[in-house]
Amino acid sequence: MIKIESISYSYRNKSLPHIVALDKINLTIDSGEFVVLTGPNGSGKSTLFRILCGLLQPSRGTVTIHGVDLLQHPQRARQSYGIVFQKPALDSHLSIFENCAIHAALYGMSRQQLQQRLQEDLSWTSVADRLHQPVKTLSGGMARQVELVKSLLHRPRCLLMDEPTTGLDPISRREFLQAVRRLQQQHQMTVLMTSHLFEEAEAADRMAILHQGQLLAHDTPDRLRATIGPEMVAVQSEHPDQSDHIWQDLKRRPGVVLQRHSPTELWCEHAQLPEMLYDLLQHHRQFITSLSFRRPTLEDVFVHVTRSHEEQQR
């Protein structure tokens, strides 16, 4: 459904003559997949999203959406997808109906089609009885529901979303993501969503990790977690200097992967965890206040992948 080939994007500013935001990105998303593109601020997520939306021209590379070359035939390609931007794209002074009517007109939909699809699509929302209220009277969660309904009115084959849960409280965020997943399966859509919240990728079919303009990983959440191993160990010390002492010792040992969680807590991974724990207690028992096992999260995966990449670049 979406094929990104060798996409690069660079720009200039006053202090640096040449900044690479995306570096030869290759990513294929199959029809009906739900993919979450993660990474920290500045990783290139929004740049790639703007290219997919047709708002930026890449320095090189090609993008194909539903068999149509986006860069050669942007109008045809845009018929295949809907967009939910990070910043609200609703006119707050217009009603829900008026916002949706403008969108429908842009896609050549009749008023009868609009009425029918609004009746279908608003059924899962909490705004079905507010159709003629101004958007400015809605909560953030309700406004996001309207954005999603609007983007799906023309029945796109693909849905692009740029950090759509920004500004939502935890309950509204969970409800929004559940609605997206349900609608994606109902309409058999392909969904590509960017997010800097790694837990939002838990329900995805695949997760892609973007860091410093490079795509470092793209796989299912379970397979990505398996690259670390089934368990990690959290080592807690009373003082930062004690934690530093343990860090320096473990850093010299082959096969140990370390993460600094706080000044007094570090997380470590190793293929032979029981042996490492025994050795750790033998040499540093006096500095350790607690040891605990924990399952790797997708945030752990990101830290592991990016640090491994940085070490390879040195």
In a domain, 118, yes or no: yes
| 277 part of a folded domain | yes
pLDDT, one tens digit per residue, over 145-181 is 999 999 999 999 999 999 888 888 888 888 888 888 9
Residue 271: pLDDT above 80?
no
Neighbouring residues of 58: CB distance < 8 A, sequence distance ≥ 6: 7, 8, 9, 22, 51, 71
Q: Which of 171, 197, 221 is the endpoint of a domain?
A: 221
| Whether residues 195 and 177 fall in one domain | yes
Average pLDDT (97-106) is 93
**Of 221, 249, 266, which one is at a domain's C-terminal end?**
221
Count of domains observed in the chain: 2
Q: pLDDT higher for 127 or 280?
A: 127
How high is the pLDDT of residue 314?
67
What does pTM read for this prediction? Answer: 0.79
Nearest alpha carbon to residue 153 among 203, 183, 109, 186: 109
**pLDDT at position 230:** 67
In which band, very low, low, confident or very high, does the pLDDT at 16 lie, cut at 50, 70 and 90? low
Do 142 and 278 lie in a common domain? no
**290-293 contacts at long range (C-beta below 8 A, 24 or more positions apart):** 290/234, 290/235, 290/236, 291/233, 291/234, 291/235, 291/236, 292/233, 292/234, 292/236, 293/231, 293/232, 293/233, 293/234
The CATH number covering residue 268 comes to: 3.30.70.920
pLDDT digits (tens, 9 = 90+) for 39-70: 888 888 889 999 998 888 999 999 999 889 99
Give domain status of residue 139, yes or no: yes
Asked if the structure places residue 301 within a domain, the reply is: no
Report helix, strand or coil for 9: strand
Q: Is 244 among the domain residues?
A: yes
Bridge partners, residue 65, by sequence: 2, 68
Claim to verify: residue 91 and residue 211 sit in the same structural domain: yes
Residue 81 domain boundaries: 2-221
Considering only residues 187 and 94, tell me which one the structure prediction assigns the higher pLDDT: 94
Question: In this predicted model, what pLDDT tens digit does every residue of 183-200 receive, in sequence order?
Answer: 888 888 999 999 988 888
**What CATH number corresponds to the domain at position 82?**
3.40.50.300
Same domain for 53 and 17: yes
Is residue 282 pLDDT above 70, yes or no?
yes
Place of tokens 């009517």: 101
CA 121 – CA 109 distance, rounded (Å): 15
Residues 169 and 241 in one domain: no
